[in-house]
Amino acid sequence: MQPELIVFFVLGTVAVGSAIGMLLSRNAVYSALFLILNFATVAVFYLVLGAPFIAMVQVTVYAGAIMVLFLFVIMLLGAEHLERRTGADWQKPIAALLGVVLLVEAGYVLLSESVSLPGINVPAADYGAPVAIGELLFSEYLLPFEVTSVLLLAAMVGAIVITRRDAPRRKKR
């Protein structure tokens, strides 16, 4: 077996295992920690795939900032064990449908010979380098880059508005 394949399967097992761990943990903190492991594994995949910049962003933004925010809120609310019963739900049918569509799609892509997906070759030396990404972001993708500033402004204003407590009222059930 080629070393790349071994790396893929080891990492893949960790990624899938941590995702399953997240699903099955009864404690929300464990779920968050499993998800961080999953994100870190995916970051290693990004490195293998020649995307060092994205890998670093994944670690700092996803595994770092976003998941810390999750952990913070879980602990703030004391929401580790806030799960009692399962029942019917408004989003079940659609997610089931989409799941089936997705698995069929993936199976089709994997099994059918007629689908020609490109193979993976050894890329140019500077492929995925931060410099290359930065140049693209400030030339071809300048407009989307500026739009993200608007988006982040909206999110910041929104998060502050929602959590600010100007009329302290807490309804007891």
Residues 138-167 contacting other proteins, CB under 8 A = 139-144, 147-148, 150-165, 167
Residues 7-36 contacting other proteins, CB under 8 A = 8, 12, 15-16, 19-20, 22-23, 28, 31-32, 35
The least CB distance from residue 79 to other proteins, in Å, is 6
* Calpha distance 144→123 (Å, rounded): 26
Q: Which helix (H) or strand (E) holds 137?
A: helix 130-137
The least CB distance from residue 26 to other proteins, in Å, is 10
The number of CA neighbours under 13 Å toward the Cβ of 165 is: 3
Structure tokens at 122: 């050894």
DSSP assignment letter at 166: S
Residues 63-102 contacting other proteins, CB under 8 A = 65-66, 69-70, 73-74, 76-77, 79, 82-87, 89-99, 101-102
